[in-house]
Structure 1
Amino acid sequence: MDTAAKQAVGSKYVLESMKYAQRKTWEVMDQFAQRVRPGMLESEATAECKTVLSELGMDRIWHPVLVRFGANTLKMFKERSDGDPRLAEDDIFFVDLGVVWDGHEGDAGATFVVGNDTEMNACADAAKTLFDEVEHHWRSTRASGAALYDFAAQRAEALGWRLNLDIKGHRVCDFPHAIYKAGNLGDFAECPDAGLWILEIQLAHPTRPFGAFYEDLLV
């Protein structure tokens, strides 16, 4: 498939609508994170997130709501959580949302910490920092998707974290994006256009059993 086909959009696609979907998805993220408390089960938090989505008037979910507590923050999207852990007083969790608003796909992920574990806070911060660095590299150099993940791996190592290179970003657009078989952002040989690609960053602590996740639209 050529570059144009990999960056194709549907007849309803509007960049401003993608930005709207992005904003609404982050609004859910922020409201949900404020409701998470130590003692909640991972399953209870997932149900609460779905409640927030309904309250804010989503069109629909386009990928399952994913909430990961503790050691499950090392899991990839398609992997099942181990058990149904309860959030501890000092703990880490992330949320991954794929939601349709106004016919366009929002996709966002972020990591949060409860309590005062210094290394957990550092890991969560590092995922956002690395995302920002890679996004800036995209804006300033017009690098290919593959080059962005090469840069991400180098920066993660320099910052002292392990980057999961089995997670390399993906396409979004007007719903459903699945009709465009574009592959991963990290395998894309050209510079990704704005408003079409999700940059995903998943880090692991080098020795302890937890990680952090951050993703957002390149726009």
Structure 2
Amino acid sequence: MYNAHQSLLHQTVLVLGGASGIGAAVARQARARGARVIVASRQAVSPGEGIEACVADITDTRALQALFSGVGTVDHLVISAGPAVQARPLAQSDLQLAREAFEVKFWGALQAIQLALPHLSAHASISLTSGLLSRKFVAGQMIKTTLNAALEALARQLAKELAPRRVNVVSPGLTETEAYAGMDAESRQAMFARAGAGLPVGRVGAADEVAAGYLLAMENGFMTASVIDIDGGGLI
């Protein structure tokens, strides 16, 4: 009988970019469902009870090779690593920064998947992370829009190529995470309040709410090439 609380029992979940925020929430929820969970990030972290941690930069080929070799067979690969990208109109954009963003979030993800292939189980799932700006066009957000759209296209292509392994994308809206820790608390809360007021749900998201989308992609064996929007209605 299906047991939601043990749905990932005896399965291995590897989260690239799991040090904090959404990735860390995915790791906690997968662990609660019985999985062996490993998080990998650029810096050493203490991810929580029962969760293994490794240091590996997603752009570092040798570090990723060592990571996959050490982990063994992976049943679910989650990639949530991504750089901070500031909004800029094209005329004021530093295209080198745009290239660096693609190097991490797009090329880093593609390299990680390629290196993971020999270690993925026959029916493994891969979950990528985009964002609502892939399909919501906002002036000044050229980099995020093109980067996230590229990831969604990549996922659909790989879902075809890597079948029966499954490839999906979670597309979050604005989510309250440590990514905004650089702002002072008052400014951060004011920003969240303004953004939330413009959404049908009336607030921004929480990391655990977005993480639930990745668990859906892991657990639902009939889901592939899907973009899972968890954005509080931000696309409408």
- TM norm structure 2: 0.29
- TM norm structure 1: 0.31
Task: Decide which structure has greater helix share.
Answer: 2
